[in-house]
Amino acid sequence: MWADSVDGYITSDYKIACSLAFRLASLEEFKVNSAGSGLNQYKVWVTSERDITIEIQ
């Protein structure tokens, strides 16, 4: 996955959202945020105090 700007990842699959959140939380550079809606939509996004480039394979 590569992008100049990513606002977050939205999925209807709870297990995918949790897996992504835990994987990102293992990186010290990020603060992981998540939110769920009543429509079975889960969003995961990160915030950082500095510009970071990561490569997910």
Q: Is the pLDDT of residue 4 over 80?
A: no
Q: Are 34 and 17 in contact (CB under 8 A)?
A: yes
Encoded amino acid at 11, one letter:
T
pLDDT digits (tens, 9 = 90+) for 28-57: 877 888 888 778 888 888 887 666 565 655
pLDDT band at 5 (very low <50, low <70, confident <90, very high): low
Q: Does 22 have pLDDT greater than 60?
A: yes
pLDDT band at 2 (very low <50, low <70, confident <90, very high): very low
Residues near 13 by beta carbon (within 8 Å), at least 6 away in sequence: 42
User: Which of 33, 31, 29, 30 has the alpha carbon at shortest distance from 45?
Assistant: 33
